[in-house]
Amino acid sequence: MIYTVTFAPSIDYIPYVDDFQANTLNRAKEVSYYPGGKGINISRVLKRMEVDATALGFVGGFTGDYIQQFLQREQVPSAFIQVDSVTRINVKIKSQQETELNGPAPTLQSQEIEQLLHFLQLHAKEDDWVVVSGSIPETVTNGFFEQLQKSCALTGAKWVLDTSGPRLKQLLQYQPYFIKPNQHELGELVGDTIDTLEQAVAHAKKLTEQDVSLVIVSLGGEGAVCVSSDTQFLAKAPKGQVVNTVGAGDSLVAGMIAQLAQQQSLQDAFCYGVASGSATAFKEDLCHKEEVEKLVPQVEIQTI
Ligand SMILES: Nc1ncnc2c1ncn2[C@@H]1O[C@H](COP(=O)(O)OP(=O)(O)O)[C@@H](O)[C@H]1O
Ligand SMILES: O=P(O)(O)OC[C@H]1O[C@](O)(COP(=O)(O)O)[C@@H](O)[C@@H]1O
């Protein structure tokens, strides 16, 4: 079983606007509302790939109800903890460019966080995966991750971290199996600007020498690099008409884990992950299995 943890779910509100301008009234020609937050996106993609996964996290208010109903309709298994605060709405304006405005993560009470930890300690067993993705509220202390690491070490479950900012740096000491920063997030993590592939690979390599087994750096339309202690791959992304890149990174993570959990090789899993990211970038909502499989042969993988 794969458990996705979204501390800060969202409704992704997507207005499509011709020629968006700041400081004036804009009118959207169309809008969409999707359940969002990185772990929730990963769970939705895994469901479409016919891989067992349960979405965990914290939801509240009318927005939380919307997310739960949406996931139920798609038959995405979930076991959310209900909280008092209203789940955030993240705005993703699609115009000539994409402009995003994400709300803050919720403030969680210590007993709510404990409830999640107990669930994971009870359920995550050997060969299971715990994927912690997206913003992490400040009230979720490092102690949570220390306990999660201990529990995974005891059971043989793997835990994965896809977050950004200072928390990514702080949490590496708890040795997630893999991380997936994008180019910008890797730069923030290592305190350097990443302008070239060589820089991305060199920094990723250093990270694998410290706390992480695997580092995937996603490079948007360029593809991604995958670095472990003994392998280095570059995958060039397929070319296509980009419609909406929200959730592309989450789809990459979902595709990789889906394959790794089915004992596929790292190279095949990475290729499938990159195809999944691109399949999502080429449509409005998240990718489906058939779309991913059509793109797999177009991903150019090379050992670097
Ligand atoms: N313009 C694009 N064309 C083709 N594939 C894309 C494009 N943008 C993203 N992708 C795919 O999605 C993956 C993740 O995208 P990226 O934007 O790097 O992640 P994030 O959403 O986490 O910032 C890329 O590695 C690539 O496979
Ligand atoms: O928790 P954060 O970092 O604010 O990110 C949440 C946002 O990221 C998303 O999960 C999309 O992530 P990616 O584009 O990186 O795959 C949205 O659904 C959500 O609005």
Q: What is the pLDDT of residues 167-213, one digit of tens each?
A: 999 999 999 999 999 999 999 999 999 988 999 999 999 999 988 99
pTM: 0.97
- Our mutation pick for probing the ligand 2 site, out of 7, 38, 101, 182, counting the most ligand atoms within 8 A of Cβ, is 38
Q: What percent of the chain has pLDDT over 90?
A: 96
CA of 223 to the centre of ligand 2 (A): 18
Does 134 contact ligand 2 (Cβ within 6 A)? yes
Contacts 24+ apart (CB under 8 A), 270-276: 270/216, 270/224, 270/226, 270/233, 270/235, 270/301, 271/235, 271/296, 271/299, 271/301, 272/296, 273/216, 273/224, 274/223, 274/224, 274/235, 274/237, 274/299, 275/238, 275/299, 276/45, 276/251, 276/252
3-state class (DSSP) for residue 188: helix
250 annotated active-site: yes
The 10s digit of each residue's pLDDT in 230-275 is: 999 999 999 999 998 999 999 999 999 999 999 999 999 999 999 9
Q: Where are the beta strands (DSSP E) in 112-193?
A: 129-133, 158-162, 178-179
Q: What ranges do the domains of the chain cover?
A: 1-176, 178-304
Rounded to the nearest angstrom, the distance between the alpha carbon of 25 and the centre of ligand 1 is: 31
CA distance 97 to 114: 41
Helix (H, G, I), strand (E, B) or coil at 178: strand
CATH number of the domain at 1-176, please?
3.40.1190.20
Model confidence at 17: pLDDT above 90: yes
pLDDT for res 288: 98
- Any atom of ligand 1 within 6 Å of the Cβ of 281: yes
Tell me the ligand closest to 256's alpha carbon. 1
Q: Rounded distance, CA 93 to CA 4, Å?
A: 26
* DSSP 8-state class, residue 282: T
Say yes or no: domain 178-304 is CATH 3.40.50.1820. no
Give the phi and the psi of residue 157 in degrees, each rounded to 5. -75, 155
Task: Answer yes or no: same fold for 1-176 and 178-304.
Answer: yes
Return the number of other C-beta atoms located less than 10 Å from residue 29's C-beta: 8
User: Given 65, 127, 250, 285, which residue is catalytic?
Assistant: 250
- Distance from CA of residue 122 to its chain's centroid? 24
Name the closest ligand to CA 180: 1
Ligand 2 atom at shortest distance from the alpha carbon of 102: 4
CA 20 from centre of chain: 27
| Ligand 2 centroid from CA 154, angstroms | 31
ipTM over the 0.95 cut-off: yes
301 lines ligand 1 (CB under 6 A): no
Ligand 2 atom 5: residue of nearest CA: 134
